[in-house]
Amino acid sequence: MSRIGISLCKIMIPAGLTILFASTTSATKPAPGPTGRDIYTDRCAACHGEDGKGHGPAVGALTIPPADLTVLAKRNGGGFPVERVKEIVGGWAALTAHGTREMPIWGNLFVAKNPTDQQLANERFKSLVSFLESIQQ
């Protein structure tokens, strides 16, 4: 349920029932995590554009033009470079356009401080890579 939906429930339902409703909903149906497309839109599209071609609204503020993410496979002999994408997105490859390793643009989205959170971070990472694979020409 969206934040707005929960807020409306809190307004429309007496306090005791709201607590019961919220706890029942979260216990029976966990909220889905963000999709690869969601992560891309939130973290990448400002520079790389909604279509991945490198024409996002932040391009004018960049000194290095963003890559066209739709031709990664084409530029790598037809195979999607999963490991290279992992290095770049994870902040392990030195790319000045993506900030320093100490503070990559993505923050702790893909790197967690404990093993439980790291599993979720890994799932987000895989989702993003799968989305990038899906937009190849």
With a CB cutoff of 8 Å and minimum separation 6, the contacts of 18 are: 9, 10
What region, left, alpha or beta, does residue 54 occupy, with left being phi > 0 and alpha being psi -120 to 50 degrees?
A: left
Mean pLDDT of 30-39: 83
For 91-131, the pLDDT digits (tens) are: 777 776 666 655 456 666 777 778 888 888 888 889 999 99
pLDDT band, very low/low/confident/very high, at 17 (cuts 50, 70, 90): very low
10 Å CB burial of residue 25 (0-12, 13-18, 19+) is middle
Of residues 40, 35, 71, the one with CA closest to residue 53: 71
Q: Is the pLDDT of residue 79 over 50?
A: yes
